[in-house]
Structure 1
Amino acid sequence: MASEFSSDIVGEDDTYKLLTHFVKTSHRIKNPDIRGETVMEMCCLLFQRDYKFMTVPNMQGELCSHYPMKLVVLEYEREEPADDKEVESQYDPIQLEQMIRFARCSRCRSRFVMPVILFEGKHVCRSATLSGAAEMFGRSTKDYILSRRFHNSLEKIKNSLPHHFFYIRSDMFSTFRGHDIDLLKFFDVHYICDLMVEKKKTKFKMAITSSEKVDKENRYSDFTILQMPYPGCELFKDWKANMYNGHVTAYDWALAMNDSDLDLPKSPIVEDVQVEWQAYRVNPSKAYTD
């Protein structure tokens, strides 16, 4: 794609080629393709035109295999396009990477909190839901073993595991939830938009993920949680099967698993948007007021 992109402009044809590549190619960060790497570099060049930013390396998916090879953290908008004036970064990249490593086990598939949009000095972040005990325990143990692999003999690892297992069992949730909260506060997050239609997602009678709203210790009380249950990828799979026809694709809100209700605490971010929130399940087309 290097020849297809221009450093001066990205046109409609470039966007079409990128979307075509995205549709046909699965994201596998440990086996990257040349086009994907080229697109990553082009994205950084485009960010550089309008923002001062820093990147956190994720070349082999060591932080998260579902995220790009370079994690772009926008810091502020440039006053002039492509302003190359050297300004000290407001983030310490080493500190940020360390915080991510601590927090990565707290969310499903290591999809930790990460800024993706900067608007008027405020970050809009993405993340996955909170990990359940099984995933948190398994992932943290795997990370621990791999981190020791090149520095200790197997005998030393064996001797150290019991203490590590006890540590995870006794204070696992508080520890990892604490790291997750630290990362949220690092990016100055105030609102958490919870889109889960259930309080906890269960499979084979085991809770595999949960949302911040049902944390038993109320650890996320410092944040305003906006409960906005919305159908996930399963609905969009049906939408695709129905030839992308929204009129014949409907979500069954009567399912027993839908135990999360709309709950929007009073706040400017809710009240300033002219939406009849309570009508969104009944008739989405009439949920917006004039």
Structure 2
Amino acid sequence: MSSVDAWLLTVFLFDHCNRSSIFASPQVEAIEKRCLELFARDYKYSIIHNSNGEVCGHYPQQIVFLEYECTDVERDRFESTVQIGKLQDLVNRSKLARCRGRFVCPVILYNGKHICRSSTLAGWGELYGRTGYNYIFSGGTDDAESEEVPEDDSAVRNGDSQLFDKVRGLDIKLLRYLSVRYICDLMVENKKVKFGLNVTSSEKADKVQRYADFTLLSVPYPGCEFFKDYKDRDYTAEGLVFNWNQDYVDAPLTIPMCFTQNLNIDWTRYQSWDLVEQTQNYLKLLLHIINSDDESGLLVHCISGWDRTPLFVSLLRLSLWADGAVHASLEPAEILYLTIAYDWFLFGHMLPDRLSKGEEIFFFCFNFLKHIVSEKFSAVKKQRYIYGELTAPAACLLTESRDRGSVTSLSSDFSLITEEAGGSSSLTNDTVDLFSSQPQASNWSATHTHTHTHTHTHTQCLFNCTFWIYASVTKNNKQNRDTFSSCLISLSPLSRCPFPSERQARLEAVREVFLAAYSSTVGLKSSAPSPSGAITGLLEQFARGVGLRGTNAIV
């Protein structure tokens, strides 16, 4: 399917999400079929059947379980030991443990690790209500009661209630079967309270510590209501800080030391971060977790699992895709379609309801891609040529070296280092990072890069010469550095390296397609004229990126 066809399907998907919340329809079946086709490009998968919503009424009718990558038969690959029959059985038995029956569900496969999503744990009211309902309408039998939990299981040893022991014990059994060790809880509260009653709970608030064997991370993130403020500020997230002093906010940020040491983030300041910095730092944390040395998986959840959860699942999927680490064969329009359809729509995000309230968390997710184009968010290791505290554009330097006949002719003042994204580094935030060893490009990216190469050949040569001269004349000489910088300032902007990284080009392409589709279907709703011109800037991107005109895009 061409990129244009995929884009049109994306537009259709937006239109369907905006006008309908009915799942059992031919249109939804067509969307699910397309998702399966896109998954099949790169993975061998099995299906967890949920045809009539009998497992969960808010999940896809065909839930995909990714087994292994199938694009390169010669490469060593992860072979899943999970048996789909046993997985389906565990899913059926454990679904009562979580709010709205939204059980732990694997959605991304990365380096043999399952990245999962779910809702939070069900409270006593929902748990007893659902078990009673199931008992009445299943002829006097209860799935939760039909499973024998081993007596030496920690969920039973420490239990204070037989029902809680059994359903949460089954939830733990499912987590272990999927090799999930890390649980990231996005709730800003320990328990969700409505009308004075605890309606949901959380692993971190389990009184008898049934989840003590897991690594629990409390990473409180504002709920969808907060994104009305984002919309009211004309879709500007910079400077937008959540109010942590509200009465219901009682979950502090809690992260094990092993995940904070190498990220160069002052986590004690999290309550002062604006929405951009908070989302960036949480994404860095999630990427750091899935890049840990062990083979354990990750669970991400909020309360219901259909707003904040798809936000981070989608950012993870797109970030890994931009690195060539997942869905390697998909083009920008196709990965956009997949994550919108599967991660948001089919897993129950209520876009019409959120739009009616101005809670534009969905738009924020994809517009936010502009804030994660840097290699700092890359999950793969990078190679950088370092000179003092400056990073030379290696793509340019290597081009020059090849032209001179030898890569080894680079000055000995440069050293080659390997750095994992998010790791410690002596480089400043202002360091130029325009190069790295890139993953194999898709057909789209190869064409994209080829075009830019011809357009900017002279610019590249100019930048090569400029940097090489800089390296030669300013070594250990501050005065020369200052003088040379003032030379640089007066030069044409063409002296800067024009090449974005492959990651940046991919994410920007996804964002452009998204903005065009969103503008032509849903539209942006301006609250008031903004001196910042935020919406005007977005409309400019619509027109520039996809050839649309934005005069009637705001509704």
Q: Tell me, which stretches of 5 or more residues in structure 2 are unaligned?
A: 146-159, 282-427, 430-555
Contact 2:107 2:114 in 1 (8 A): yes
| Match among 194, 197, 211 for residue 220 of structure 1 | 211
CA contact under 8 A between 2:193 and 2:199: conserved in structure 1?
Answer: yes
Matched residue SS, 1:190:
strand
Distance 2:172 2:49 in 1: 22
Measured in 2, the distance between the counterparts of 1:113 and 1:259 equals: 25
User: Does the residue aligned with 1:41 lie in a helix, a strand or coil?
Assistant: helix
8 Å contact 2:242–2:271 — kept in the other structure? Answer: no
- 1:57 correspondence with 2:52: no
Q: In structure 1, which of residues 29, 33, 43 is the aligned counterpart of residue 25 of structure 2?
A: 33
Task: State the partner residue of 2:7.
Answer: 12
Instruction: Map Cα deviations across residues 151-181 of structure 1 (whole Å, 9 max, x no partner).
Output: xxxxxx4xx89xx8xxxx9511111110110
Distance, in Å, in 2 between the alignment partners of 1:170 and 1:210 is 15
- RMSD, aligned CA: 2.8
Separation in structure 1 between the aligned mates of residue 88 and residue 197 of structure 2, nearest angstrom: 31
CA distance in 2, matches of 1:189, 1:47: 22
CA distance in 1, matches of 2:195, 2:44: 46
CA distance in 2, matches of 1:130, 1:208: 9
Q: Does the aligned pair in 2 maintain the 1:54–1:89 contact within 8 Å?
A: no
Shift of 1:144: 2.4
Q: Deviations over 1:134-157 (max 9, x none)?
A: 100111221222222xxxxxxxx4
* CA distances 1:225-282 after superposition (whole Å, capped 9, x unpaired): 0110111122124434554343585421110111110110122x54444433232320
Point out the structure with max Rg over C-alpha.
Answer: 2
Q: Residues of 2 paired with 1:237 and 1:189: CA distance?
A: 34
| CA displacement, residues 99-133 of structure 1 (integer Å, 9 cap, x when unaligned) | 11111111100010001111111111001011000
- Residue 251 of structure 1 is matched in structure 2 by 242
| Aligned-partner Cα distance in 2 for 1:244–1:274 | 28
Aligned to 1:172, what secondary structure does the other structure show? Answer: helix
Answering whether residue 59 of structure 2 is matched by residue 67 of structure 1, we say: yes
The reply on whether 1:208 has 2:203 as its aligned counterpart is no
The answer (yes or no) to whether the contact 1:198–1:260 under 8 Å persists in 2 is yes
Aligned to 2:125: 134
- Residue 19 and residue 212 in structure 1: after superposition, are their counterparts in 2 closer, same or farther (change >3 A)? same
Percent of aligned positions that are identical = 40
TM-score by length of 1: 0.80
Per-residue CA deviation, residues 205-241 of structure 1 (Å, 9 max, x unaligned), is 1100111111111110111001101111221244345
Following the alignment from structure 2 to structure 1, what is the Cα–Cα distance between the partners of residues 190 and 119? 14
Structure 1's unaligned 5+ residue stretches are 1-5, 149-156
Q: Structure 1 146/242 Cα, relative in aligned 2: closer, same or farther at 3 Å?
A: farther
| SS of residue in 1 equivalent to 2:135 | helix
- Does 1:229 find its partner at 2:220? yes
**In structure 1, what residue type is equivalent to 2:266?**
E
Report the Cα distance in structure 2 between the residues aligned to 1:141 and 1:98, rounded to whole angstroms: 20
| Aligned ranges 1:264-275 → 2 under 5 Å | 264-267=255-258, 269-275=259-265
- Partner of residue 39, structure 2: 47
Alignment partner, residue 267 of structure 2: 277
Contact 1:193 1:225 in 2 (8 A): yes
| Matching of residues 106-121 of structure 1 within 5 Å | 106-121=97-112
Once the 2 structures are TM-superposed, how far is the Cα of residue 198 of structure 1 from its aligned partner?
0.7
More off after superposition, 10-19 vs 210-219: 10-19
Distance in 1, matches of 2:241 and 2:92, equals 40
Q: In the superposition, relative to structure 1, how do residues 49 and 243 fare at CA in structure 2: closer, same or farther (>3 Å)?
A: same
Alpha-carbon distance in 2 for matches of 1:200, 1:89: 35
SS at match of 2:15: helix
- SS of the aligned residue for 1:254 comes to coil
Specify whether residues 286 and 124 from structure 1 end up closer, same or farther in structure 2 by C-alpha distance, changes over 3 A only: closer
Q: Is contact 1:191–1:223 with CA below 8 Å preserved after alignment?
A: yes
Cα distance in 2 for partners of 1:9, 1:57 equals 31
Q: 1:221 to 1:243 in 2, by over 3 A?
A: same
* Residues 49/198 of structure 1: CA separation in 2 closer, same or farther (3 Å cut): same
Query: What is the Cα deviation at residue 65 of structure 1?
Result: 0.6
Partners in 2 of 1:138 and 1:7 — Cα distance? Answer: 49
SS of equivalent to 2:180: coil
Change (3 A) 1:245 1:89: closer
Alignment correspondent of 1:22: 17
CA distance in 2, matches of 1:11, 1:126: 26
Equivalent in the alignment of 2:361: none
In 1, the alpha carbon distance for the partners of 2:180 and 2:100 equals: 21
Distance 1:97 1:106, change over 3 A: same
Task: Output the CA distance in 1 between the equivalents of 2:117 and 2:178.
Answer: 12
Q: What amino acid does structure 2 have at the position aligned with 1:276?
A: D
Moved more, 88-97 or 124-133: 88-97
The 1:8/1:46 distance shift into structure 2, 3 A limit, reads farther
Contact kept in structure 2, 1:242 and 1:248, CA below 8 Å: no
* Cα distance between partner residues in 2 of 1:61 and 1:243: 38
Answer yes or no: is the 8 Å Cα contact 1:279–1:286 preserved in 2: no
SS at match of 2:164: helix
User: CA, structure 1 residues 54+270, in 2 after alignment: closer, same or farther (shift >3 Å)?
Assistant: farther
Q: Which residue of 1 aligns with 2:184?
A: 193
In structure 2, distance between residues paired with 1:184 and 1:270: 24
Distance 1:66 1:216 in 2: 28
- Partner residue in 2 for 1:3: none
TM-score, normalised on structure 2?
A: 0.44
- Give the secondary-structure state (helix, strand or coil) at the position aligned to 2:54: coil
